[in-house]
Amino acid sequence: MPEQPKTLVAALVEVQARLPRIEKSKTADVRTKDGSYQYSYADLTAITEALLPLLTANGLAWVCKPTLNTEGKMVLAYALKHVSGEQETGEYPLPASGSPQQLGSAISYGRRYCITAVTGLAPADDDDDGQAAEQQGTAQRRPPAQRRKAEQPAGGRTAQRATRPAADPPPLPGDDDPGKISKPQLAKLGVVFSKAGIVERDERLAIVRGLLDLTDLTSSTELTKEQASRLIDALDRAEQHPDGLLAGLAQSGGDQ
């Protein structure tokens, strides 16, 4: 039997070098007060069957259980433990109330996302729905000549020329469309979803479709400013729930 890595980091390096490919083979049907929607995902069984033997082979153990934290809130406490005694721990918030089915769904959801987040596993076809591209910064959207000026090192005549005001780049498609979703709105959606741990493209789109009743929507960039404003208002209201966005969506009938 090969010698196991001596530290947690070394073990995680070995695991991440051999992460399995997990397909999104399951489909969830979600009913809300305004209708229903679907999204695809990789279920907990598929993830653990592929990942746990790899963790064990490298001296790692995964522990995850619902409990009350020091503040008395219901959380999913998790730990990636190494035989050396090192460990990586954290807490995932759970709804404070709900039916047994809702709580069980929230626990399964948290178990899936905690283990994938800590190990670095990403089910196939994950996408950020264009949010990363929208937030990469103005440097990458400038024409090549302007990018070269901005990337020049400080000092000398080149740096002096780079400090002169440059002409504004031509507007990108959609930037001059007053009816289309704006970049600040897209950024806001990305922040809210990321804070809640909702990183899969299908799941983000499913929530958007369900909240706005847009069954044919294929990207958040297709939204109008008015639709985006209504969506942000709905997410903001859900985010104010004491246990976070997911619990807020569950309370309003939109939980996964």
Q: Residue 67 has what pLDDT?
A: 94
Q: Does residue 15 lie in a domain region?
A: yes
Q: Does residue 3 lie in a domain region?
A: no
CA distance 245 to 94: 10
pLDDT tens, residue by residue, 178-226: 688 888 888 888 878 777 767 777 788 888 888 888 888 888 888 998 8
Number of domains within the chain: 1
- Joined together, the tokens standing for residue 11 give 């073990």
Does residue 154 register a pLDDT over 80?
A: no
Enclosing domain of residue 213:
8-131+178-251
76 in Cβ contact with 59 (< 8 Å): no
Q: Does residue 153 lie in a domain region?
A: no
Q: Does residue 158 lie in a domain region?
A: no
Q: Does residue 169 lie in a domain region?
A: no
- Global pTM? 0.50
Phi, psi of 57, deg, nearest 5: -65, -20
Q: Does residue 32 lie in a domain region?
A: yes
Q: Does residue 72 lie in a domain region?
A: yes
Residue 218: CB atoms within 10 Å: 10
Residue 6: closest CA among 119, 76, 82, 75 = 82
Q: Does residue 36 lie in a domain region?
A: yes
CA distance 214 to 226: 13
Q: Provide the pLDDT confidence category of residue 63 given band limits of 50, 70 and 90.
A: very high
